[in-house]
Structure 1
């Protein structure tokens, strides 16, 4: 396999976090461990710097994180997906040892960076979304939890 590590998150884009939270409670009996609004400052979107805000619900499902994302601003990876494909599976995230190695590997496979920046975790942790939609129907995300470049 490529330089990608283990899958640690599945992301779903939605219009309404309240409806998603109610649905998770009804269908799976789960409560979110986190509900927040995140603003990613100076993130790179399609080669230009932006600020992007997204509402987030996080659930732990047997060690796999389910993330529900509701975009609050336009011109970002989450709103684009919602506009183009509607609600649904947005990304699968991989924990990687090296952000640069994962990026280089995906670029060599013809999968380009869509949006990337500093994670809300801080400490040098970075995230990146890759435009794998033409190949897989959803995006790939990488996160370097150890903060290595």
Structure 2
């Protein structure tokens, strides 16, 4: 059985966080609980170490986090998606017990790691995006929220 069994986030790539906030306000009457600019330092993008900056806006909708992402630098998983597919559903994130087990399972299924690194949450929490677009039309992200390998 796959170690991907707990969905905790849906990620949407946009060009403009202000426009996305206005849309969420109009359609759902919702306000973000967080809005930040994150720079992921020394993250691995397609095998190369980079710094990647992205604007982030977070909402809680029925126990699932909606994450709006607006890339601020080129050459990363968010900007690639925006350039290639435009705005829209970017990823579904799974909270996993083991980052390594999820990676190994996806690699065994022929799915490659796209970008990975240390979460902005700190500690030993890691995130990874997997290139599932050819199979699903969106990426899968994993996060080991418990901080285990």
Secondary structure of the equivalent of 2:123?
coil
In the alignment, the residues of structure 2 paired with residue 62 and residue 85 of structure 1 have an alpha-carbon distance, to the nearest angstrom, of 27
Tell me the C-alpha RMSD between the 2 structures. Answer: 0.5
Report SS of the residue matched to 1:57: strand
Unaligned ranges ≥5, structure 2: none
**Are 1:44 and 1:115, in contact at CA under 8 Å, matched by a contact in 2?**
yes
Structure 1 residues 25-104: aligned runs within 5 Å: 25-104=25-104
Report the Cα offset of residue 5 of structure 1. 3.0
In 2, Cα distance between equivalents of 1:80 and 1:62: 29
Give the gaps of 5 or more residues in structure 1. none
Q: 1:148 maps to which residue? A: 148
Kept in 2: contact 1:91–1:138 (CA 8 A): yes
Say whether the 8 Å CA contact 1:13–1:68 is kept in structure 2: yes
Q: How many residues align?
A: 149
TM-score relative to the length of structure 1: 0.99
1:60-113 deviation digits (Å, cap 9, x = unpaired): 001100000000000000000000000000000000000000000000000000
**Contact 1:43-1:118 at 8 Å conserved across structures:** yes
- Structure 1 runs, 4 residues or longer, greater than 2 Å off: none
